[in-house]
């Protein structure tokens, strides 16, 4: 057996297999598992393997394999949207499962290759991997419209350490993750050759984790802001996605909305504001028939906020369609409208190729989630909706909530609302990762966030990211709760990610410049 073990370790592909296995283990820190205590040591193993690569090409391959395995494990749910209509889209599921994780893994591979190229020696490469990988995390939130899902820092959202995001955002949590992993990797590397340095690295890792945990726990223990005198009702119809747009079932789901909205609350208190989920109704805002009036009557005079599609004539004489949020008054008249501006590529529109969706047999090019032939058009950007006594709210539709930048560009709201249809994401993993990121937005901004979902998970989230009230996956019903109060504006809400971007750019440029100077000599 020892001989077999030695042969396996000496095999030239052993580091590649180890990188993939450790990368997959990194994903287990994400929701719904939350095993940060396994994710961080696994990342330490990845960093050790990357720092020990013999050259930049080998480092890239190790980094790419680790990243691909991590994203594939964390986002195996990505096949779910393609299985809603498997006869039309099912053939795309394997490509999605390979191409998206493989594309995101390029940022890990590029960071590993850069560290191997720019730094000399194992320890120097380990140190440079921290800012290089963090820069990759920042970039993948923006490149090709961005996809900051399953970030390294997300493993802390459900722990006291996640509260650090109120000062640092997700990138600060990523730095915590990478720093802990690097210290553990250093401790493991030097355990036999320099035990004193190994002990110091382990002690620093312990102190860093304890410090972050303590600061977060202190923030969680702070006094809760006074809740607003605003009773909310979140309506979750649990409409199956494969039946949602079938004419007969769509009518049934609409009447389910009406029944749930009009049902008396357990405590007898009528809602002050009713919220329905994304694309909640089977008609357009500009062609509602009696639908809007029926919805308003069910709300009993309370304003109703709902997800709805709408159309308008474009400047060129065509028709643009929008995935929108509308606020209805007691008469069913829309008094405010928000059009989703950060659309899902290949979900709500298909980049470049989408213009061919009107060709025979090419309707799938409109996007998986789009109910219109050429996909949705993007709205102009974030807006504040003034709801009068309910305050000023910043609306987000579905995956807009995964982008911190979508909460900037307006005056500070009183609270945040997210309407979503997580039936697209399956029932086991994707919806819970989406919920975790909504909680992170609440922590970052110090604002309550209210989440109305078709299914999984409707929730009222306080300004420290804690779930106050919720309704879980696969259930039809309502959530009746008061709106939690807001905290003072956080440091992160004031400054955002700009300092991180500047610091990471300077570090990367300095490391690259140093390498070029050495090469010149």
Q: Domain residue spans in the chain?
A: 12-222+497-520, 231-342+378-486
**Closest by Cα among 227, 236, 293, 245 to 263:** 236
Q: What is the pLDDT of residue 317?
A: 83
In whole angstroms, give the CA distance from residue 293 to residue 304. 11
**Closest by Cα among 150, 164, 119 to 28:** 150
The owner of tokens 């850069």 is 114
| Domain over 231-342+378-486 is classified CATH 3.30.379.10 | no
In whole angstroms, give the CA distance from residue 198 to residue 186. 7
Q: Residue 415: beta bridge partners?
A: 393
What's the longest Cα–Cα distance across the chain?
A: 80
For residue 520, give every residue at least 6 positions away whose Cβ sits within 8 Å of its Cβ, in sequence order, or none: none
Q: Which residues of 407-419 are buried (b: 16+ CB within 10 A; e: fewer)?
A: beeeeebbbbbbb
Q: Residue 344: beta bridge partners?
A: none
Q: What is the pLDDT of residue 371?
A: 67
Q: Is 168 left (phi over 0), alpha (psi -120 to 50) or beta?
A: alpha
pLDDT digits (tens, 9 = 90+) for 244-276: 999 999 999 999 999 999 999 999 999 999 999
Give 298-354 as a DSSP string. HTTTS-EEEEEEEEEE-TTSSEEEEEEEEEE-TTS-EEEEEE--S--BTTTB-TTGG
| Catalytic machinery residues | 278, 340, 398
Question: pLDDT of the chain along its 521 residues, tens only?
Answer: 455 445 545 677 899 999 999 999 999 999 999 999 999 999 999 999 999 999 999 999 999 999 999 999 999 999 999 999 898 889 889 999 999 999 999 999 999 999 999 999 999 999 999 999 999 999 999 999 999 999 999 999 999 999 999 999 999 999 999 999 999 999 999 999 999 999 999 999 999 999 999 999 999 999 999 999 999 999 999 999 999 999 999 999 999 999 999 999 999 999 999 999 999 999 999 999 999 999 999 999 999 999 999 999 988 888 999 999 999 999 999 999 999 999 999 889 888 655 555 545 445 455 677 766 568 999 999 999 999 999 999 999 999 999 999 999 899 999 999 999 999 999 999 999 999 999 999 999 999 999 999 998 999 999 999 999 999 999 999 999 999 999 999 999 999 999 999 999 999 999 999 999 888 76
Give 374-428 as a DSSP string. T-PPP-SS---EE-GGG-EEEEEEGGGGG-GGGG-SSPPPSEEEEEE-GGGGTTT
**Closest by Cα among 56, 54, 94, 61 to 78:** 94
Judge whether 461 and 472 are in contact, CB under 8 Å: no
pTM for this prediction: 0.95
In whole angstroms, give the CA distance from residue 403 to residue 170. 10
Judge whether 41 and 445 are in contact, CB under 8 Å: no
Q: Which residues of 193-228 are buried (b: 16+ CB within 10 A; e: fewer)?
A: eeeeebeebbeebeeebeebbebbeebeeeeebeeb
Alpha carbon 297 to chain centroid, angstroms: 35
pLDDT digits (tens, 9 = 90+) for 340-380: 999 999 889 888 655 555 545 445 455 677 766 568 999 99
Strand 304-313 vs strand 385-386: parallel, antiparallel, or unpaired?
Answer: unpaired
Q: What are the E-state strand segments in 437-499? A: 449-453, 458-461, 467-471, 477-482
Q: What is the pLDDT of residue 318?
A: 86
Q: What is the pLDDT of residue 362?
A: 45
Q: What is the pLDDT of residue 372?
A: 65
Q: Residue 322: beta bridge partners?
A: 310
> Please, what is the end-to-end C-alpha distance for the chain in angstroms?
49
Give 214-250 as a DSSP string. HHHHHHHTSPPPPPPS-EEEEEE----TTTTTSHHHH
Q: What is the pLDDT of residue 106?
A: 98
Query: Alpha helices of 190-223 — where are they, by DSSP H?
Result: 195-220
In whole angstroms, give the CA distance from residue 316 to residue 311. 14
């Amino acid at each position: 057996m020892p001989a077999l073990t030695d042969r396996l370790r000496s095999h030239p592909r052993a580091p590649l297999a180890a990188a993939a296995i450790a990368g997959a283990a990194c994903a287990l820190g994400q929701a719904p598992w939350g095993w940060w205590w396994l994710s961080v040591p696994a990342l330490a193993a990845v960093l050790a393997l990357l720092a020990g690569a013999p050259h930049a090409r080998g480092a890239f391959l190790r980094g790419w394999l680790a990243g691909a395995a991590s994203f594939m494990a964390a986002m195996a749910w990505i096949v779910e949207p393609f299985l809603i209509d498997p006869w039309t889209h099912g053939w795309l599921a394997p490509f999605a499962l390979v191409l998206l994780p493989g594309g995101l893994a390029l940022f890990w591979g590029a960071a590993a290759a850069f560290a191997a190229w720019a730094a000399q020696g194992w320890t120097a490469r380990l140190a440079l991997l921290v800012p290089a990988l963090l820069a990759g995390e920042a970039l993948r939130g923006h490149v090709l419209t961005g996809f900051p899902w399953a970030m390294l820092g997300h493993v802390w959202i459900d722990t006291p350490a996640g509260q650090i995001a109120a000062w640092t955002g997700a990138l600060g949590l990523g730095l915590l993750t990478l720093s802990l992993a690097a210290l553990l990797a250093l401790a493991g590397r030097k355990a036999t050759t320099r035990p004193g340095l190994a002990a110091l690295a382990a002690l620093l890792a312990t102190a860093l984790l304890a410090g972050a945990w303590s600061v977060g726990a202190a923030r969680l223990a702070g006094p809760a802001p006074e809740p607003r005198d605003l009773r909310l009702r979140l309506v979750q119809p649990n409409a199956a996605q494969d039946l949602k747009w079938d004419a007969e079932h769509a009518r049934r789901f609409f009447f389910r909305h009406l029944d749930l909205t009009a049902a008396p609350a357990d405590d007898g208190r009528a809602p002050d504001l009713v919220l329905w989920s994304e694309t909640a109704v089977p008609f357009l805002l500009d062609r509602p028939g009696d639908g809007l009036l029926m919805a308003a009557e069910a709300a009993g005079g309370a304003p109703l906020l709902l997800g709805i599609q709408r159309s308008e004539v474009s400047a060129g004489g065509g028709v643009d369609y929008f995935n929108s949020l509308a606020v209805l008054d007691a008469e069913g008249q829309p008094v405010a409208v928000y059009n989703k501006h950060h659309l899902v590529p290949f979900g709500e529109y298909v980049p470049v190729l989408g213009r061919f969706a009107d060709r025979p047999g090419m309707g799938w090019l409109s996007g998986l989630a789009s109910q219109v032939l050429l996909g949705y058009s993007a709205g102009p950007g974030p807006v504040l909706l003034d709801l009068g006594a309910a305050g000023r709210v910043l609306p987000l539709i579905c995956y807009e909530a995964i982008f911190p930048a979508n909460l900037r560009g307006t005056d500070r709201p009183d609270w945040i609302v997210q309407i979503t249809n997580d039936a697209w994401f399956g029932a086991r993993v994707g919806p819970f990762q989406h919920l975790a990121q909504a909680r992170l937005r609440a922590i970052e901004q110090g604002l309550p966030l209210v989440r109305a979902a078709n299914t999984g998970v409707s929730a009222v989230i306080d300004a420290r990211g804690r779930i106050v009230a919720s309704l879980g996956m696969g259930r039809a019903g309502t959530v009746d709760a008061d709106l939690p109060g807001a905290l003072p504006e956080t440091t992160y809400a004031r400054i955002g990610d700009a300092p991180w971007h500047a610091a990471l750019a300077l570090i990367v440029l300095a490391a690259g410049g140093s390498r070029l100077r050495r090469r010149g000599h």
